[in-house]
């Protein structure tokens, strides 16, 4: 099934009145990932290995469904095959209620999984809807959140003892504020370093997408 056909099937299954949808395209051939990312460049996709993430919105900022279809058509025309998946929509179909851990509890779980000598983290909070972006940015301001790629959310740095980044305690407090306002999301540690000892610097620097973070 072509990528465009997959999108049409996904769009047909969205509930009436949906506003935005977050999608992930997993490219079959790793050698074609760079080309796929270039063709989808206007969407500013985020990349993780062979996966490209982006979103489309029927209102406000972002590319609309028709514009998205044209970009996906270019992938089909160049023979780039992949699996398109709906990650979330701001108007999901009715489903049984599920219990999700709070963001603060998720953060505690992530820290517990790290080695005792961790020193620096580069993390991402992925939100479930663009409707939460502005409020979440305000509540997370103390940890210097930054947008990156097509992910609906923010990335931030954490430093345990010294260097550049928010403290783990400050991160938890910001996440508690999101929990208090009912803003859901998913936390991921993208990069972690242990026992770094910066000398005359603010700490390690990661290069992501050609820029320092």
How is residue 61 written in tokens?
């900022």
pLDDT at 181: 93
Q: Show me where the domains of the chain are located.
A: 3-89, 103-198
Task: Find residue 194's DSSP bridge partners.
Answer: 118
3-state SS class at 71? helix
pLDDT tens for each residue of 103-153? 999 999 989 888 888 999 999 999 988 889 999 999 999 999 999 877 899
Burial of 174 (0-12, 13-18, 19+ CB in 10 A): buried
pLDDT tens for each residue of 153-197? 999 999 988 878 899 999 999 999 999 999 999 999 888 888 777
- 119-138 in b/e form (b: 16+ CB < 10 A) is bbbbbbbbbbbbebbeebee
Q: What is the DSSP letter of 25?
A: E
**Nearest-CA neighbor of 47 among 31, 65, 24?**
24
> Considering the domain 3-89 in this protein, what is its CATH number?
3.30.70
pLDDT tens for each residue of 6-33? 999 999 888 887 888 889 999 999 999 9
pLDDT at 148: 83
**Nearest-CA neighbor of 27 among 55, 5, 11, 48?**
48
pLDDT tens for each residue of 38-70? 999 888 888 888 999 988 887 655 578 888 999
Please state, in angstroms and rounded to a whole number, the distance separating the CA atoms of residues 10 and 1. Answer: 13
pTM, two decimals, is: 0.54
pLDDT tens for each residue of 69-114? 999 999 999 999 999 999 888 754 444 444 567 999 999 998 988 8
103-198 is classed CATH 1.10.1740: no
């Amino acid at each position: 099934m072509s990528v465009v056909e997959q999108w049409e099937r996904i769009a047909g299954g969205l509930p009436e009145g949906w506003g935005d949808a977050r999608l992930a395209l997993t490219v079959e051939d790793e050698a074609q990932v760079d080309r796929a990312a270039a063709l989808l460049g206007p969407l500013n996709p985020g990349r993780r290995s062979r996966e490209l993430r982006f979103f489309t919105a029927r209102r406000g900022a972002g590319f609309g469904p028709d514009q998205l279809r044209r970009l996906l058509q270019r992938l089909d025309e160049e023979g780039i095959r992949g699996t398109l998946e709906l990650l979330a929509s701001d108007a999901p179909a009715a489903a049984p209620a599920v219990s999700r851990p709070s963001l603060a509890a998720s953060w505690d779980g992530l820290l517990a999984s790290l080695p005792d000598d961790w020193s620096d983290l580069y993390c991402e909070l992925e939100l479930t809807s663009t409707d939460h972006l502005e409020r979440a940015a305000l509540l997370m301001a103390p940890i210097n959140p930054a947008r990156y790629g097509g992910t609906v959310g923010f990335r931030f740095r954490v430093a345990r003892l010294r260097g550049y980044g928010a403290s783990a305690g400050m991160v938890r407090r910001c996440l508690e504020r999101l929990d208090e306002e009912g803003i859901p999301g998913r936390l991921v540690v993208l990069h972690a370093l242990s026992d770094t000892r910066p000398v005359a610097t603010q700490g390690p620097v990661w290069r992501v997408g050609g820029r320092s973070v």
